Structure 1
Amino acid sequence: MKQELEFFAGDAMPWREAAQPGTEEKMLSQDPDDPVVLTRLVRWLPGLDTSDAGVITHDYVEEVYLLEGDLVDLTLGQTFGPGHFASRRPGMRHGPYRTPAGCTMLEIRYRA
């Protein structure tokens, strides 16, 4: 289970390199016993293209809210921007993506 946290200045946290090349993150909360369970801000740097990874699936629920920039879904042939939201069940196919100018999103992951 994630730790209890009262309000804190998330904007004051530094961006750090994330596991996926071309991304940075601010980890807002995470389950120490199951690191995939998290809430974070993630920033995709300009020019990031996930085509090489192909279509994505995972074994957790993922919710994503785009805050800034644009994200191009290469499978759907659509571009999404600020205010767009996705909710993905385990096993749901999505992506690959490209972001010519970069984007920032709020990402929440949890187990079903």
Structure 2
Amino acid sequence: MSETPFTPTEPRLDGLDERIIARTGTPGVVTRMLRFAPGLDTTANGTLAHDFWEEVYILDGEITDLRLGKTFVAGDYACRPPGMDHGPWRAGDAGCLTFEVRYSADTI
């Protein structure tokens, strides 16, 4: 996995990069790591909602959901159903690294 590079996310935001670990089909499943640079604020990307399920596990660092005013730390887990609003985010002083699995409702 370490040979797989981190690349900028879409929409692009300096300091927000992803490493795609696995991808299958359309619709399908995407497994990725998401890396937030220290202090990164994603307000420019606004609040997000997807048409797929998203499970997130924080591996390292911390991140604050600015809309909720709640900080999540390494070891925290979230499962977001399709259409759930989340973010924008601000990463902690050490940044944040997450492990995510995204999948269509059609795949479960």
Q: Shared topology, TM-score over 0.5? A: yes
Contact 2:61 2:92 (C-alpha < 8 Å) held by counterparts:
no
- Quick one: distance in 1 between partners of 2:26 and 2:82? 19
- Unaligned stretches of 5+ residues in structure 2: none
Q: Which amino acid aligns with 2:2?
A: D
CA RMSD of aligned residues (A): 1.7
1:99 aligns with 2:95: no
Q: Is the 8 A contact 2:39 2:92 kept in 1?
A: yes
Question: Could you tell me whether the CA contact under 8 Å between 2:62 and 2:71 is conserved in 1?
Answer: yes
In the alignment, is residue 77 of structure 1 matched against residue 69 of structure 2? Answer: yes
Give the percent of matched residue pairs that are identical in Structure 1 and Structure 2. Answer: 42
Query: Mind listing any 5+ residue stretches in structure 1 that lack a counterpart?
Result: 1-9
Counterpart of 1:15 (choices 3, 6, 13) is 6
Alignment-mate amino acid for residue 75 of structure 2: G
Normalised TM-score (structure 2): 0.83
Give the strand-richer structure, 1 or 2: 2
SS at match of 2:49: coil
Structure 1 runs (4+) greater than 2 angstroms displaced: 11-20, 31-34
